[in-house]
Structure 1
Amino acid sequence: MGVPRVAVLLFIVFIAISSLFARFQDLVYVKNYDNFVNTLKQRGIANSNVLIPDGKLHHLMWFLQISDLHISLFQDSGRITDFKQFCTETVSTVQPAVVLVTGDLTHAINPGTIGSQEYKEEWKIYSQIIHESGVFGKTKWLDIRGNHDNFNVISVDSESNYFRNFSAQGQFHPRSYNFTLKHDTERYTFIGLDACLDPGPKRPFNFVGRLTEVGYKALEEMKKKRVKVIISSFGFTTIWRMRNAHHKISHFQVVGTANWESGPYLCGHLHTLLGLVPSMYTLHSTGSLELELSDWKLNRRYRVAAVDHGMFSFIDLKHGQWPVVLVTNPKHALYTMPSIEPLKIIRKSSHIRILIFSPYPIVSAQAQVNKGDWQNLTLSEGPLYILPWKPENYLKDIHSIDVYVKDNKNQEARVNHLFSLDGSRPSFSLLGRAVLMGHISIGQTIFGIFLTLSVVPLCMLKFLQIWKKGSIGKKLLKDNCCKRFVFKLYLLVYVDQLFWPLITMGIYSGVGPWFLGEIIDGYVGVCFVWGIFVEGVFLPGATTFYVGSLYLLTFYMPYTLLLSNCLYRHYLNVRNGGAEPCTFWNYMSRHLCMIIVIIWQSVVAVGYAMAYGVMAFFLGMLNTGSVVLAVVLWRLAITLPDSSFSKFNKLIKDHVLIPNNETDPDN
């Protein structure tokens, strides 16, 4: 009866993992918009009053986005000098209507990269650059907070919330706000979404955002006041990394309401995930894009975006890369928003429209369609270059436009631009979509799976051991490669002095408080895997689930296996009359891995002390407590008296678990 129950356990774990992958598949699925023309007709967009793109510089607005500046007193002064150049040369050359600065304006991390706090000097540097560069006279500067701008900040009214005094918008809009730009005959609304935690803990548990019900209602009020043109929402935290304070608030509602007045959500925050995902773009079920911009901190990236006759286009660039080339008509096929944009006007347009920027005169600008003949682009006005075309020749499938531009400093730019007029689109990067749309519940599921794998097998062995009174040996432990591994766990669960504290340690990680400490300087809070309580406020967990998974994966699981191995070796030594020589090198070879695991967990415990104060170390029930308990159980496992095994030997005497002539199978 033991084997079927183990099979049932494995089946349950398999179902849980399958559910996780099903959730993943659902998240990364993109709806097919093959019938987008009919959709546009139903929305009344394809009518005679809609303006058609031609060869003139009108109904075209462009802007810049920059994110994750991380201005620091202690790291990489090049971020500051390059940012000065961006504010002077880049802004002056592009002449954007708006500059969006989407969070993490400062670094706010102590030397040593563990502790965190807001440094007024970093904010002064940021403020000095944007004022002395003269950007306020060239454009509208819209900045907003990121999580680094909110480290160790008890409230938006706190003196340590330097965003209020040293940013462009903080003194007028301490949190979310909107700005409406009048350009030509259109009005463009930019909604800045501040989803910073309030209060703002110190790192590492200040990574996700939180959209409160009050914040959501304010966002809805902003949307009601907008005029009927494309709206660009911008913020720091990606949509799926916003925790909601009210279950009625949908994550998708942050992006838009699936009507043609909504637009893309522009954000930062995730950098490039250590270079693994350089581009993170996705299309939500609302029909709106979410476009994460790589960081300025290490990669010096920024974005040029434009709205041309109601169609949104963008290109992400590295600082100092000239010339800049952005094709605005026809729009790139991958980034179309068929339920939002008037895409049918592309079919009626008379010219290919391309924005070209460079601080130096352009000496050559050419384009070719579908690898045809190169044709010279004509300068229309300002940065707009045009080329007459006949869209009726490209009504089906995906086509390409290649653009080549050269300035008089011999700087060159080559762009390959894909477009379609029938709704065909390339595929988004699967990894990029997965990262952007990875719901917080995935972290909960991963933690739940690891916790299940950590404690359930041991509990099952204990249950079967008690129920079958030793006969499990014949049913589970055959003469194969798994024999010794299972026997070690079987022996471990038999010793109650080890089993019950070990199981309690694992279960505690999912239910008990991890530590008490200064979550914010001067404010003591308590941290659980499912959230943090500080100053009477509950901050839902998110990063904590991944940290909990790391705890189980790097400490609890290895420690369990190593503890069972220590006990097994001690058992063999007892059975063989203490024949194993007790030398230093013998001891180290058998216990080195255990020492490494305990040292690792000790380093983690010290890290919590550096982040949240000495209290977090001495009252670190999970981290420091695990180290203490690990040492105690380890010592107990290798010093159990011989009498502790007598009943065990009697229990298994009728079952061939270890050959009588085995001394030490590992030697």
Structure 2
Amino acid sequence: MQPLKGCILVTSVVVTIATVIYVITWSVHYFTVPVKYYGPPHPNDNVPPYPGATSENLWWFVQISDTHLTSVENAEKATRLRDFKTFCHEHLHIIQPMLVLHTGDITDGAPHASQNKEDWISYQQIVSEAKLPYSLRWLDVRGNHDNFNVPSRLHENNFYREYSVLGEKGDDSFLYKLELPFGTYSFIHVDALLKIGTKRPINFYGILDELNVYHLKTLSERAQQTPSNQTIYFGHYPTSTILAPHGLYDIIKGGIAYLCGHLHDLDLKHGIKRMYVLQRYGSLELELEDWKKHRKFRVMAFDHDMLSFTDVQFGEWPVILITNPKPARFLAPGHEPEKKMSHSTHIRILVFSPRTIKQVKVEIDFKPLGLAKQVNEGPLFVLPWKPDRYSNGLHLIEVKVKDAAGRYKTVSREFSLDQSRPNQPFLSSLVIMINSFIFLVLWIIGLECLCVLPLVFFRRYTERPKAGTSGNPLLYGLLLLVHTNDIYYPLISIALYPVIGPWLIGEVVTDMYGTLTLYGIYVNSTFIGDKFPMLYFVTDLLCFHLPLTLFCLLHLSRAYHLQNKHSTHHYGNGNKNGRRLVDIVLVIISIFLLKSVLSRSFGTIAKLTHWYGQLALLVSPKYTWTLLVALYVGGKCVFIGYRGAHTPTRTVGTEEMENSEK
């Protein structure tokens, strides 16, 4: 029987390891290897005109996102506002785009998670005083911060309708057509804002219902009534943070790209930069880093209907954008005539600088090709080339620019003329492509199993430890934990309750009270299915419940040291220092665990009280009440461990166990 159990154990371990390896391998392949295009060629692949020595069939535009403008007095925030003014008053005059897209979070909504009229007035003044060309189109849309504490689109708190450039026209999904001499370009806004704009943080996800998706479908059909050279979709939320019917992707894949912001760089220590991917349905999704902290904006160009872009650091000149050949990583064969690169006669580069450009040097595969020449004193520089020399595989083009101020800038890009493309970075692809709702559900299921099932298993299949028990101290503490009712049941309850019960009641919108749950928020007879509480719950399980369980386990294990304090096998006269060392280590670990539990609890409670009012502090089963239960459980475990460690005759650690022994 024993060999059979060992065989089953080994088999289980091997199967588990093999499954983990398979899942990791599959995930890396899924998120990094671009999908090959097997569809029909673009109808204009072999139709002239082709990229050459003139500036025809070329235009460019700018995207900016997450400016988070605020009038709150703060040095960093004042710099943010001043730099945005410089961007509008100087940078845009140098770049001279035909269109500017602001993809949301125009204002910050801080510090009270509400709209500040002064912020919106500052934004309006900066844009209106920039004296931008009349021909420049400015499309600004709301982000989740622009929707803080806005009960409805028509509410007086919705300052966007009064102080934005688009005003009422932009406060929903809409279609804008840019008509140029060589074609029409359609821009479709995907508005996924919550219908009731709650205070933070419960508006991180965007939501589209069936009616919203139908409206988008109607806009897409309107865009195709008059054929467009290209269609761009844009919005604040990446598709991975939009809760929507599957039909959304069927609509967006009709455009060459979806432009968004919102995620910044996820505010991680080193951040996740350049979150752009070729989605598996064949369109690009390009998230732009924020203006708030990183001062990023994007310059994009259509050159003979092929899309190129570069993300620019504010204040860094010159700005270089290679439009032909375009980067291999961002080829979209079904949406653009990428074969035109093979027919082109010139390499084409857009260069922007406040000073005169002195030199534009081009190399391919580390071999100099020559100096590009300026076209009509504009930003376009061209250099003749022979594309047939680069018809197979990936190649590296490098452009080195020097301006009259002595500034040097070098950019390099991989390109291909046979649809070869490099792999996509794993993390950025994961963030943009993943179904975050399913991801969070799997995390919650896994963590709940980790928090609950081991305790249930040991309670069901073990007995209470008895005085004189020898073995592993941690196992002794675990058995003590699962067989002590007023420790076991509270730990199980605070792990499972958030899945089934309300978390708190508070003023989620000014003068509107709502109930927060794991699945969303119920306010004003409306259920808003935002899934940000799920993300909060995952971090709670990791930073609160697991540390609390380990804290209890460590302190209960001290009762084991008591019952063996007179045992020469464990702590004889020659090994008293070992006992002291164990106690010191336990204390240090306990301090870190306690810090995690308390900082998570008090920090969250303070924020929720600040945002949702005093009622959220009092009627809060998930946070305030749970903290009280945790303090009781943790205190009882400390008491048991302390009492056991100093009272040799009480080795079990609870009155119930002592009575059972009697």
1:83-112 deviations in whole A, cap 9, x for unaligned?
1111121111111110001111011111xx
1:500: Cα distance to partner? Answer: 1.5
- For residue 432 of structure 1, what is the amino acid of its counterpart? S
1:524: Cα distance to partner? Answer: 1.1
84-93 or 372-381, which deviates more: 372-381
Matching residue of 1:428: 424
1:618: Cα distance to partner? Answer: 0.6
Q: 2:552, 2:638 within 8 Å by CA — same for their partners in 1?
A: no
1:62: Cα distance to partner? Answer: 0.6
Q: 1:336 to 1:472 in 2, by over 3 A?
A: farther
- Pairing 1:268–2:267 present: no
CA distance in 1, matches of 2:141, 2:561: 64
1:199-245 deviations in whole A, cap 9, x for unaligned?
1121122212112222211111111111231111111111111012x
Matching residue of 2:52: 54
CA distance in 1, matches of 2:215, 2:415: 37
Matching residue of 2:435: 439
Secondary structure of the residue aligned to 1:609 is: helix
- Pairing 1:513–2:513 present: no
Matching residue of 2:201: 204
Matching residue of 1:154: 151
- Pairing 1:225–2:218 present: no
CA distance in 2, matches of 1:355, 1:277: 27
CA distance in 1, matches of 2:564, 2:389: 86
1:365: Cα distance to partner? Answer: 2.1
Identify which of 348, 352, 356 aligns with 1:361. 356
Matching residue of 1:66: 64
- Pairing 1:90–2:85 present: no
Secondary structure of the residue aligned to 1:276 is: coil
CA distance in 2, matches of 1:203, 1:13: 40
CA distance in 2, matches of 1:139, 1:339: 29
Q: 2:35, 2:282 within 8 Å by CA — same for their partners in 1?
A: no
Q: 2:548, 2:634 within 8 Å by CA — same for their partners in 1?
A: no
Residues 516-595 of structure 1 mapped to structure 2, 5 A cutoff: 516-569=505-558, 592=591
Secondary structure of the residue aligned to 1:28 is: helix
Identify which of 175, 178, 184 aligns with 2:175. 178
Matching residue of 2:240: 240
Q: 1:61, 1:183 within 8 Å by CA — same for their partners in 2?
A: no
Identify which of 4, 28, 31 aligns with 2:31. 28
Q: TM-score, normalised by structure 2?
A: 0.86
Secondary structure of the residue aligned to 1:462 is: helix
CA distance in 1, matches of 2:241, 2:25: 20
1:528-569 deviations in whole A, cap 9, x for unaligned?
122221222222242222211111111111112222333443
CA distance in 1, matches of 2:531, 2:356: 50
Q: 1:398, 1:425 within 8 Å by CA — same for their partners in 2?
A: yes
1:459-510 deviations in whole A, cap 9, x for unaligned?
1111113xxx569999xx994xxx2222211111111122122211111122
Identify which of 442, 452, 455 aligns with 1:455. 452
- For residue 211 of structure 2, what is the amino acid of its counterpart? V
CA distance in 2, matches of 1:15, 1:161: 54
Matching residue of 2:399: 403
Q: 1:20, 1:445 within 8 Å by CA — same for their partners in 2?
A: no
Q: 2:88, 2:130 within 8 Å by CA — same for their partners in 1?
A: yes
Residues 332-371 of structure 1 mapped to structure 2, 5 A cutoff: 332-371=327-366
Q: TM-score, normalised by structure 1?
A: 0.86
- Pairing 1:125–2:122 present: yes
- Pairing 1:417–2:406 present: no
Q: 1:514, 1:623 within 8 Å by CA — same for their partners in 2?
A: yes
1:611: Cα distance to partner? Answer: 2.0
1:56: Cα distance to partner? Answer: 1.5
Secondary structure of the residue aligned to 2:273 is: coil
204-213 or 283-292, which deviates more: 204-213
1:39: Cα distance to partner? Answer: 3.7
Q: 1:118, 1:162 within 8 Å by CA — same for their partners in 2?
A: yes
Q: 1:29 to 1:502 in 2, by over 3 A?
A: same
Secondary structure of the residue aligned to 2:59 is: strand
Q: 1:58, 1:184 within 8 Å by CA — same for their partners in 2?
A: no
405-414 or 448-457, which deviates more: 405-414
1:27: Cα distance to partner? Answer: 5.1
Q: 2:32, 2:423 within 8 Å by CA — same for their partners in 1?
A: no
Aligned-residue identity in percent: 31
- Pairing 1:297–2:300 present: no
Q: 1:142, 1:168 within 8 Å by CA — same for their partners in 2?
A: yes
CA distance in 1, matches of 2:15, 2:513: 40
Q: 1:118 to 1:350 in 2, by over 3 A?
A: same
CA distance in 2, matches of 1:615, 1:19: 49
- For residue 51 of structure 2, what is the amino acid of its counterpart? P
- For residue 628 of structure 2, what is the amino acid of its counterpart? V
CA distance in 2, matches of 1:8, 1:547: 36
Structure 2: 5+ residue stretches without partners:
567-582, 644-649
Q: 1:27, 1:434 within 8 Å by CA — same for their partners in 2?
A: no
367-376 or 508-517, which deviates more: 367-376
1:447: Cα distance to partner? Answer: 1.9
Matching residue of 1:596: 595
Secondary structure of the residue aligned to 1:197 is: coil
CA distance in 2, matches of 1:639, 1:471: 18
139-148 or 586-595, which deviates more: 586-595
1:25: Cα distance to partner? Answer: 4.4
1:603: Cα distance to partner? Answer: 3.2
Q: 1:105 to 1:380 in 2, by over 3 A?
A: same
Secondary structure of the residue aligned to 2:397 is: strand
- For residue 540 of structure 1, what is the amino acid of its counterpart? G
CA distance in 2, matches of 1:444, 1:544: 11
Q: 1:17 to 1:551 in 2, by over 3 A?
A: farther
Secondary structure of the residue aligned to 2:375 is: strand
Identify which of 317, 321, 333 aligns with 1:322. 317
1:183: Cα distance to partner? Answer: 1.2
Q: 2:401, 2:409 within 8 Å by CA — same for their partners in 1?
A: yes
1:652: Cα distance to partner? Answer: 9.8
Q: 1:351, 1:389 within 8 Å by CA — same for their partners in 2?
A: yes
Q: 1:255, 1:286 within 8 Å by CA — same for their partners in 2?
A: no
1:151: Cα distance to partner? Answer: 1.0
- For residue 627 of structure 1, what is the amino acid of its counterpart? L
For the aligned residue pairs, the C-alpha RMSD in angstroms reads 3.3
Identify which of 287, 303, 312 aligns with 2:307. 312
CA distance in 1, matches of 2:460, 2:187: 61
CA distance in 2, matches of 1:324, 1:594: 49
1:123: Cα distance to partner? Answer: 0.6
Matching residue of 2:617: 617
Secondary structure of the residue aligned to 1:360 is: coil
170-179 or 18-27, which deviates more: 18-27
1:276: Cα distance to partner? Answer: 2.1
Structure 1: 5+ residue stretches without partners:
578-584, 654-667
Q: 1:136 to 1:221 in 2, by over 3 A?
A: farther
1:233-281 deviations in whole A, cap 9, x for unaligned?
111111111012xx4x345235323xxxx21111111112333212111
- For residue 210 of structure 1, what is the amino acid of its counterpart? I
Q: How many residues align?
A: 623
1:334: Cα distance to partner? Answer: 1.0
Matching residue of 2:571: none
Q: 1:630 to 1:373 in 2, by over 3 A?
A: closer
CA distance in 1, matches of 2:12, 2:455: 12
